[in-house]
Amino acid sequence: MIYIKNGSINTITNGVIVGDILVDDGKIVEISDGIVVPLDAEVIDAKGKFIYPGFIDAHTHLGLWEDGMGAEGADGNEETDPITPQLNPIDGINPMDRTFEEAYSGGITSVCVTPGSANVMGGQCIAIKTYGKRIDKMIIKNPVASKIAFGENPKTCYGADEKAPQTRMAIAAMLRENLKKAQEYLEEIELYEKDEDDERDRPEYDIKLEGLLPVLKKEIPFKVHAHRADDIFTAIRIGKEFDVDLTLDHCTEGHLIVEDLVEENYPVIVGPSLSERSKIELRNLTFDTAGKLSNAGLDVCIMTDHPVIPVNYLPICAGIAVKHGMTNERALEAITINPAKAIGIDDRVGSIEVGKDADLVIWDGYPLEINSNVVCTIIDGKVVYNNEKS
């Protein structure tokens, strides 16, 4: 049991209050200014400090590309087949990688880990906490999305070897082909389950098509890798054809098509913006994108695409977005409640509310300012980082 007293608490969803938080069994059980402190509680005095929910990055490859390693630590892209919806990061993440510690000591307590974008269908995505040694015990929800990719990455990965896809047309065609197969597979399963006379055989198990069923059932969205405006529109076109949900990740040219994105109203996950224009698709890269989309009324998430940008720089990315026109309030939402909603874990994290996971971070200043420091990080009600120098 932990009792945090005297802090300025930014709940994200219910304003800022000065008061206390009681944590028990990994959950927030009380928030007020008159808590009766249990005798066995660990007391943390946050006077003069600022308490925020743990920050969330909705698009990373944390633990799939290990820090300071080459091919031995690269497990994000299975570049032998452009269609791999059956893959899941739980079998590739190494939580012993030191960037996990950098994440939670930097105030990031939850992330979505996704396969890379070499494949048209890259695999499923999972939401995890950033503290732990065994990935099975760190999972918040699995899966939360299914990764698909448009544009340069799948083209350059396979086109150079005289394999499909070499063009954007082929990427779209491969998506449609496999989604149609998955639809038919699902229909056969449903007919089999409805057959009261047991005269119909269940369709032969297909691990790839099984991986797409949660998308077709609208249990999870497609997580769309798309930088260019035309690729974003192709993703939306295919999403409507097959009646599936989407999140639009990267969305680099989103500021060029603001009205269309507002009309469609998909969650947008913007970034990585703190990087170079390393390929043609990024020629219109700007930090203005998040603010323009947010100011137009969209619920924007900001992401690092770790290791493209180290995940612990997520608050800095949000701070630079403010410098480029995003409001402070919306920038905080972009790394808390918005990503929690986009990946379907807002029932547990993303704000400071009674009943939610006790993922709390105490700062010595405003977290989007570069000179602010994390004093203490609590994940699932456990102090995992304590900076005694602050």
Q: How far apart are CA 46 and CA 32, in angstroms?
A: 14
Q: Which amino acid is at 122?
A: G
pLDDT reported for residue 162: 87
Distances (CA, A) of 209 to 78, 143, 146, 202: 17, 15, 12, 14
CA quadruple 90, 94, 95, 98: dihedral sign? negative
Distance CA 317, CA 334 (A): 10
DSSP 146: E
In the sheet with 121-129, reading across from the earlier edge strand, the strands are 55-60, 108-113, 121-129, 139-149, 222-226, 246-250, 268-270, 300-302
User: What confidence score (pLDDT) does residue 390 get?
Assistant: 42
* Residue 117 buriedness (CB in 10 A; 0-12 / 13-18 / 19+): buried
Q: Name the phi and psi angles at 213, rounded to 5.
A: -60, -40
Residue ranges in the chain whose pLDDT is less than 70: 389-390
CA separation, residue 41 to residues 24, 36, 384 (Å): 9, 11, 17
Q: What is the DSSP letter of 388?
A: T
The first and second tokens of residue 219, run together, are 């249990």
Q: Which of 64, 89, 78 is nearest to 139 (CA)?
A: 89
Please give the Cα distance from 319 to 33 (Å, whole number). Answer: 30
Q: Determine if the pTM surpasses 0.75.
A: yes
